[in-house]
Amino acid sequence: MIVQRKGARLLSRSIYRLFSTKAKETESSTQSNHAISNKQLLFTTDPVSPGSVFFLPHGTRILNKLIQFMKNQQVKYGFQEVVTPLIFKTKLWQKSGHWDNYKDDMFKVVGNDLSKEEHTDNIEEHEYGLKPMNCPSHCMIFAKFDRSYQELPVRYSDFSSLHRNEASGALSGLTRVRRFHQDDGHIFCSLDQINQEIKNTLTLIKDTYSIFGINEIEFYLSTRPEEKYIGDIETWNKAEDQLKNVLNSTVGAGNWKIREGDGAFYGPKIDVLLTDAFGKKHQVGTIQLDFQLPNRFDLKYVGEDGNRDHQPILVHRAVYGSLERFFAILLDHYQGKWPFWINPRQAIIIPINETHVPVAESLQKRLSGEMLNGEDAIAPLTSFNFYVDIDKRGETIGARTKEAIQKGYSYIILIGDKDIANGTFAVRTRDDRKVKNMTSNEIYDTFVQLEKSYK
């Protein structure tokens, strides 16, 4: 039962004053992402699966928004999304060079019942590795079909989960995990297309981070490792010079640094680092130039001259990098005060008493894009759908408003007799106690514009 105050009109000036002033926000010191996650119920972990994250419903909403945002950018930049297997026989990893150069950081998978496998006399034929990266499988897709110079660049994106055998002592929340997701992309292109593809990726990286209000970005060129690398030094030097030229023309000479010997075993790379709210640096985006895997997988395309032996160049790239790590950086960056478009708690409706609940439910249905309890048997495939809750508890308006602010709701909507009579609702934001009267259509249109503009 919702409390109804005696001897007062339900939506009197005193109630409005209570709604707008009693629940005062308090500034808090910087909190760790664990503390924020516990308060907002975003994710959890368990020793039964070390280094793996259990995203809770509200955390999953954020993760899905990050993924959908990047999928839309991938389309804009000409990527085609693919879905690839999780495990491959070790002979694939041997072919790609990962088994010789990366196997200590991989998980081995072997079935318990060997009779289910062919070649049971050969253990290597039924020994698998969990994939730590997607590039070999994307090379396989490229190699499956005859290719022409007219198709290039071929761009594949992949959001499959990846596994890397990090040391248990190095595991840390979201930033250092064993299972993670990556906005992975691979570009197969000709030599004269490299500069433009890398420039496009650097532009996407800067534009993406700016959406989140992150403008302090550090760029590093990571060069050939001293020991574990494949290919000849001349090819490595050529690749490193390509990346230096693009960095100079895109971010400017003097705005990037060199990390000697920190490249991948198959090629040099551009690493992008962000600094979290505690001053700790994290590598997020990356661009890697690879002349080795196309050679190992014998990738070919028909050139303009009709020759079928042209070999593409492979560009590995990620903008977020690990989605889990980027999630952690955003947790620190926003301190739980998510922008509306990515907030898992976008609005909460507070009916004054139980007689106002039906109107609250009707508004919730409207703001959810008719997906919640809609009349159609099947929910629509696309529409603007907002995460809106109703607080029907028997608490005072002030108590419910205060809790809504603490939980991080972007908008708080009050419904009483006066609102119903006027066909409007009393609306305030998380950070502004000023109340504005709005119709349901005005609220919906405001939410649509906020999401469209990533506010």
Active-site positions? 135, 164, 182, 184, 186, 269, 316
Nearest to 348 by CA among 302, 394, 415, 301: 415
Q: By three-state DSSP, how is residue 213 classified? A: coil
Three-class DSSP category at 23: coil
Phi, psi at residue 291, to the nearest 5°? -100, -5
The residues that bridge with 318 in the sheet, in sequence order, are 184, 286
Kindly provide the residue ranges of all beta strands, DSSP E only, lying in 238-357, ordered along the sequence.
256-259, 269-275, 281-290, 313-322, 347-351
Range 19-31 burial, b when 16+ CB lie within 10 A, else e: bbeebeeeeeeeb
Task: Return d(Cα 348, Cα 355) in angstroms, integer.
Answer: 17
Q: Are 449 and 429 in contact (CB under 8 A)?
A: no
> Tokens for 372?
């919640």
Rounded to whole angstroms, how far apart are CA atoms 423 and 409? Answer: 23
CB-based contact 40:62 (threshold 8 Å): no
The single residue listed with the structure tokens 């694939």 is 92
Q: Which residues pair with 221 in a beta bridge?
A: 258, 270
CA 346 to chain centre: 18
Where does residue 97 fall: left (phi above 0), alpha (psi -120 to 50 degrees), or beta otherwise? Answer: left
Which two tokens mark 69? 């945002």
